[in-house]
């Protein structure tokens, strides 16, 4: 949900129709997860490359999708760097270049040391983030005092927005889902995972949407602003959660990109690490909200290619 900016950009402007957009996105992502799991289970696939080999026969198309995924990974890395600097600027008015540089240096050394161990933290972090949002949402949602939820922007663009949101999230979701085969016993397990995915996405999306109603100005990290308005433990709990989430996501996306392009060649890996981290300074300076609003819609359109091949399989 990337700090609430995605929900704000893709759904909030549509009023009540934005909630329907979130529901559509959640259902579609659940279907995509189910389709991926069924194919992986049927052919006993255990890696993303095996999945691509099974659903795509055309080598050129397959290579194009791999390139798209790598560009998406490095773009997401830069977006996380921008999100980190946006946090400290919004919260403490710290210069964005200084905070970006701090995280970039931390990532650089992590990539050269224990990146895989850091990535494993995500398996613990994700449930914590979900629980944090649920507690935060249940205790603080207030939709009665604010009329912004009503809205009358029913021009059906919310449907397109939901599809684009689904598409770019599926770029990495398909890859992650494709390696779950060995953890699932049968078709019922696949259905269960797909349903749970939809419930989590729809539930968290609506919670964030309703919390955003409490905003009275536009900021780069909407959820941080809302948490600060409620104050108390929510402010500190959310701040700690998002900083850990930003760091582990940046490491996960950056390391995956480096591993993909280096193909176990340490010289290429180290050189790519230097180049990627160096470019993070000028690219992240474009701004977190700007990058989200530009990059994700583009990949939302491009990502449809992978979904089409998945559905045809």
> Average pLDDT of each block of 10 consecutive residues along the chain (313 residues)?
77 86 96 93 85 90 91 94 93 93 95 75 74 74 52 73 93 79 80 92 88 76 80 78 84 90 91 96 90 91 92 86
Contacts by residues 119-126 (CB-CB < 8 Å, ≥ 24 positions apart): 119/248, 119/251, 119/252, 119/255, 121/244, 121/248, 122/248, 122/249, 122/252, 125/244, 125/245, 125/248
Cβ–Cβ < 8 Å for 251, 110: yes
Cβ–Cβ < 8 Å for 70, 307: no
pLDDT for 129: 75
pLDDT for 125: 74
pLDDT for 151: 53
Tokens for 124, please give them. Answer: 């613990």
DSSP E strand boundaries for 6-162: none
Burial profile 202-233: b = 16 or more Cβ within 10 angstroms, e = fewer = bbbbbbbbbbbbbbeeebbbbbbbbbbeeeee
pLDDT for 144: 43
Cβ–Cβ < 8 Å for 170, 307: yes
How far apart, in Å, are the Cα atoms of 122 and each of 3, 50, 143, 244, 246? 16, 24, 32, 9, 11
- Nearest CA to 277 out of 83, 106, 73 is that of 106
Burial profile 27-52: b = 16 or more Cβ within 10 angstroms, e = fewer = bbbbbbbbbbbbbbbeeebeebebbb
pLDDT for 1: 53
> Phi-psi region for residue 277, left (φ > 0), alpha (ψ -120 to 50) or beta?
alpha
DSSP letter assigned to residue 4: G
Tokens for 200, please give them. Answer: 């989590």
pLDDT for 174: 86
């Amino acid at each position: 949900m990337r700090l609430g900016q995605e929900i704000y950009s893709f759904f909030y402007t549509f009023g009540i129709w934005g909630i329907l957009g979130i529901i559509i996105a959640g259902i579609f992502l659940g279907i995509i997860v189910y389709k991926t799991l069924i194919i992986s289970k049927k052919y006993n696939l255990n890696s993303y490359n095996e999945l691509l080999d099974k659903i795509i026969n055309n080598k050129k198309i397959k290579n194009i999708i791999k390139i798209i995924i790598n560009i998406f990974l490095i773009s997401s890395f830069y977006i996380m760097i921008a999100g980190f600097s946006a946090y400290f600027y919004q919260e403490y008015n710290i210069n964005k270049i200084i905070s970006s540089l701090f995280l970039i240096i931390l990532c650089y050394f992590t990539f050269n040391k224990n990146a895989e161990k850091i990535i494993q933290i995500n398996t613990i972090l994700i449930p914590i983030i979900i629980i944090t949002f649920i507690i935060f949402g249940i205790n603080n949602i207030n939709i009665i005092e604010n009329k912004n939820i009503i809205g009358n922007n029913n021009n059906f663009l919310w449907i397109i927005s939901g599809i684009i949101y689904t598409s770019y999230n599926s770029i990495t979701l398909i890859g992650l889902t494709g390696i779950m085969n060995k953890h699932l016993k049968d078709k019922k397990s696949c259905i269960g995972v797909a349903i749970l995915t939809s419930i989590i996405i729809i539930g968290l999306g609506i919670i964030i949407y309703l919390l955003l109603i409490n905003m009275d100005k536009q900021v780069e990290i909407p959820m941080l602003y809302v948490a600060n308005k409620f104050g108390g433990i929510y402010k500190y709990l959310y701040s700690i959660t998002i900083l850990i989430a930003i760091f582990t996501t940046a490491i996960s996306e950056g390391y995956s990109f480096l591993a993909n392009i280096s193909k176990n060649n340490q010289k290429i890996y180290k050189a790519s690490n230097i180049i990627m981290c160096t470019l993070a300074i000028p690219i992240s300076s474009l701004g977190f909200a700007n990058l989200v609003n530009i990059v994700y819609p583009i990949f939302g359109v491009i990502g449809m290619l992978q979904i089409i091949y998945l559905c045809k399989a």
